Amino acid sequence: GHIVRNWKVRWFVLLQDKLLYYKIEGGKKEPSPKGRILLDGCTITCPCLEYENRPLLIKLKTKTNTDYFLECCSREERDSWALDITGAIHAGHPVQVQELHRMKNSFKLLDNISLHDIVERMYDSSTGIKLTRNLDQGNRYKETFTGSSLVDWLISNSFAVSRFEAVTLASMLMDENFLRPVGTRSTEAMRFSDPSEKFLDDSTALYMFAESGKKNTSSKEEVQFNISELSGTIVKQGFLVKQGHKRKNWKVRRFVLRADPAFLHYYDPTKEENKPVGGFSLRGCLVSALEDNGVPAGRVKGNVQGNLFKIITKNDIHYYIQASSKAERVQWIEAIKPLT
């Protein structure tokens, strides 16, 4: 909203030169639009990272400098809307429209591979991407890799068949905040409006994992774990997004589910040592999916509707966790329930 900065569900209709939005009453849209966004002269930002806890945003800035923030229900829906809106903005420029559709149709991530899978493989100490120290205009960066080395790695691991596809995939990883540019060369490339030029297949462009630059936890803050709770059989593991207990921010963590004894541990993927930064026994826990109306006010910051689930321990500690899709959320819940 422009006056009260709250978020409301609206029914959107995209026309050739404008975007109309309608109120929903009784499950149906009202006959007259609540408002409209004129697309002539608009600029679009997608993904928009201005709201840390809202990864599914599209930002539209009109030629009169009015900002609209629109949130979608999934990454796929967000990207589809962004592409169609961009096409409408450039409707008078057929060459740009053709280029947009060529880029959309030229690359498709394999159905059995997710961006989380790729990042997990990148972190692998033996087969992952090699992290090195690099110097850029007097600044020394730890644990970085070059754009060309990432392109080489994606092709050699069969995630892409050409350098163009690898650049597109690397751009997706950067757009979803798995990677970030460091140094002059790669940072300046982010200013280009053309998506194909934001990630550089270049040996002088430096990148790192998005959380690599943050300070490591001090030894006083490290959590100690009993060896027995880490000895169980691994039932399931993968990357999920977890809300912190103190700062209520969201961070990517590698979760490992074990049985006999039943524990769920989570690891900081930016740390080389294979030690969990948190975990708990599943005995007596409750696990459930959270839909839009199941999120307690004040408990969860940011809008993570759709793929959120909650685990309550027997000590009444609440963990809020987000999966990358509804299917992944179901898989985790089904794997955890028998162990509670």
What residue type is assigned to position 85 of the chain?
I
Residue that terminates a domain, selected from 48, 74, 104:
104
Q: Which residue has the tokens 């109120």?
A: 23
Residue 220 resides in a domain: no
The pLDDT tens digits of the residues spanning 169-204 come to 888 888 777 888 887 778 877 765 455 567 888 888
Question: What one-character-per-residue DSSP string does 132-174 give?
Answer: EEEEETTEEEEEEEEHHHHHHHHHHTTS-SSHHHHHHHHHHHH
Q: Which two tokens mark 11?
A: 């029914």
Out of 90-94, 216-220, 336-340, least confident range: 216-220
Over pLDDT 70: what percentage of the chain? 78
CA 3 – CA 26 distance, rounded (Å)? 24
Give residue 120's pLDDT: 85
CA 240 – CA 255 distance, rounded (Å)? 7
What residue type is assigned to position 103 of the chain?
M
Residue 78 resides in a domain: yes
Closest CA to 72 of 88, 57, 53, 52: 57
- The whole-chain average pLDDT of the chain stands at 78
Give residue 29's pLDDT: 81
Give 139's pLDDT tier (boundaries 50, 70, 90). Answer: low
Residues 57 and 91 placed together within one structural domain of the fold: yes
Q: Is the pLDDT of residue 237 over 70?
A: yes
Give residue 286's pLDDT: 92
Q: Is the pLDDT of residue 108 over 60?
A: no
Out of 115-119, 143-147, 234-238, 251-255, least confident range: 115-119
Residues 94 and 119 placed together within one structural domain of the fold: no
Give 113's pLDDT tier (boundaries 50, 70, 90). Answer: low
Domain of 138?
A: 115-209
CATH number, position 274: 2.30.29.30
Residues 123 and 188 placed together within one structural domain of the fold: yes
Q: Count the neighbouring beta carbons within 10 Å of the beta carbon of residue 98.
A: 12
Give 298's pLDDT tier (boundaries 50, 70, 90). Answer: very low
The pLDDT tens digits of the residues spanning 19-48 come to 999 988 877 788 899 999 999 888 888 777
Total domain count for the chain?
A: 3
Give residue 302's pLDDT: 52
Out of 129-143, 157-171, 183-197, 280-294, least confident range: 183-197
Residues 238 and 326 placed together within one structural domain of the fold: yes
Residues 99 and 123 placed together within one structural domain of the fold: no
More confident residue, 334 or 298: 334
Residues 124 and 58 placed together within one structural domain of the fold: no
Give residue 213's pLDDT: 41
Q: What is the pTM of this model?
A: 0.36
Residues 26 and 119 placed together within one structural domain of the fold: no
Residue 303 resides in a domain: yes
Q: Is the pLDDT of residue 87 over 90?
A: no
Closest CA to 200 of 146, 131, 160, 132: 146
Give 331's pLDDT tier (boundaries 50, 70, 90). Answer: very high
Among 81-90, 167-176, 272-281, 321-330, the range with the most confident prediction by mean pLDDT is 321-330
Give residue 102's pLDDT: 55
Give 273's pLDDT tier (boundaries 50, 70, 90). Answer: low
- In this prediction, residues 320-327 reach a mean pLDDT of 88
Residue that terminates a domain, selected from 104, 130, 156:
104
CATH number, position 180: 1.10.10.10
Residue 4 resides in a domain: no
Out of 216-220, 255-259, 308-312, least confident range: 216-220
Residues 188 and 252 placed together within one structural domain of the fold: no
More confident residue, 102 or 223: 102
